[in-house]
Structure 1
Amino acid sequence: MSSGCLDYSEKRDFIRMRVEADVSLIHQGQVISAVCLDLSSSGLQVQAPRRFEVGDTLEVRIDSDHPALKGLEASTEVVWVADQSGGKQKLGLRILSMK
């Protein structure tokens, strides 16, 4: 079942952690710097400086500043987009797999 089929209460069954962390989005070999706004066990919300489309697959990397903690690396799919001023977008990314 895609997350688009879940009703509002089911989407909120995943605990979300508000963060403002620098994130690298890798799309078709291009690395794009963005900001992760929130994170859950099933996905993330990201503010990106350029446009993406629903269905795009992105590799996501969040580096850790702590030497004992590994950063996050995941394959994701864009499940929703919200246009913002200046050509920016907020993206809903569903985690497909962790690396």
Structure 2
Amino acid sequence: MITPINDRRAFRRMAIESPLQISFNGQTRQGVCLDLSATGMSIEVVDAIYQVGDTIEVHLGQGTATAPPLSGKANIIRISAQGDKYVLAVELTELK
């Protein structure tokens, strides 16, 4: 877990660093899910095509017989530049 003691988030975050797909404006791009909570995730991307307020679709994992992949819609609530990459903070709004 990467939740500091003074963190006031309602749900703990789990560091997972797993590849995921992002669907946006009819295109599918790759990203890396850095961490995941019950209500959102942080996603590392190389493209600067996103803006705060955009709605994206995320697809995380391939799924197994006992655990389906995580798939749904998310709203971008913050974007941070990290060198030549960007970290999107997203709020999950709909899971499929």
TM value normalised by structure 1: 0.83
In structure 2, runs of 5+ residues without a counterpart are: 1-6
Shift of 1:84: 2.3
RMSD, aligned CA: 1.3
Identity between Structure 1 and Structure 2 (%): 28
Partner of 2:46: 49
Q: Structure 1 residue 20: deviation in Å?
A: 0.7
Aligned counterpart, 1:66: 64
Residue 64 of structure 1: CA displacement? 2.9
* 2:81 paired residue number: 83
Deviations 1:46-91 (A, max 9, x none): 00111211001100001235343210001001000001222x2101
Letter in 2 for 1:96: T
Report the counterpart of residue 95 of structure 2 in structure 1. Answer: 98
2-structure distance, mates of 1:77, 1:65: 23
Match of 1:32 in 2: 29
- How many residue pairs match? The answer is 89
TM-score if structure 2 supplies the norm length? 0.85
Could you say which structure has the higher helix fraction? 1
Q: What are structure 1's unaligned runs of at least 5 residues?
A: 1-7
